[in-house]
Amino acid sequence: MKRLLLIAAFVFMAGGFLALGPAEAQMVSTLPVPGITIYPGDPITDDMLTERRFRLTRASLEAVVAGREMLVGKVARRTLLPGQPITVNAVENAKLVRRGVPVRLVFVEGGLTIITYAEPMQSGSVGEVIRVRNTESGTVIVGVVQADGSIVVGKS
């Protein structure tokens, strides 16, 4: 199945349509596409997008982003060309935490809360579990990235 999705994505990027045979029905779908060139690392905004109709198979539809709401606020992982469908793996959530940049570390267990600072060992988006190093003790621990950019460890 993964191989089929990769082939479908390649065919779309080449500007063609994927037809696997008479058993695979095609449908017309309206997809969000870039209206301008979007470069890697660029945050995607609604005004960067437009819509275009494509003839797709059910399998190829799973390989591309089908709605604007799934793109706005995300970041391009690679260059996105105007008028071309955007594959699911071409965008990612914005990284709130950057590797090596100190962040607030919050330990919560029961009624006890301890706040300190730590150095992330990897970048992360909201809800991701990442490894961080306590700057005071050197201990490596895992925590969850929060919307405010802090890392929470322990049980809440």
Model confidence pLDDT, tens digit, residues 39-57: 999 999 999 999 999 998 8
8, pLDDT greater than 80: no
- The burial class, CB within 10 Å (0-12 / 13-18 / 19+), for 48 is buried
Judge contact between 94 and 73, C-beta under 8 A: yes
Task: Determine the Cα–Cα distance for residues 13 and 23; give it in Å rounded to an integer.
Answer: 23
Asked whether the whole model's pTM tops 0.75, one would answer no
Cα 110 to chain center, whole Å? Answer: 33
Q: What is the pLDDT of residue 115?
A: 92
Judge contact between 151 and 120, C-beta under 8 A: yes
Structure tokens at 141: 């621990």
Model confidence pLDDT, tens digit, residues 62-74: 899 999 999 999 9
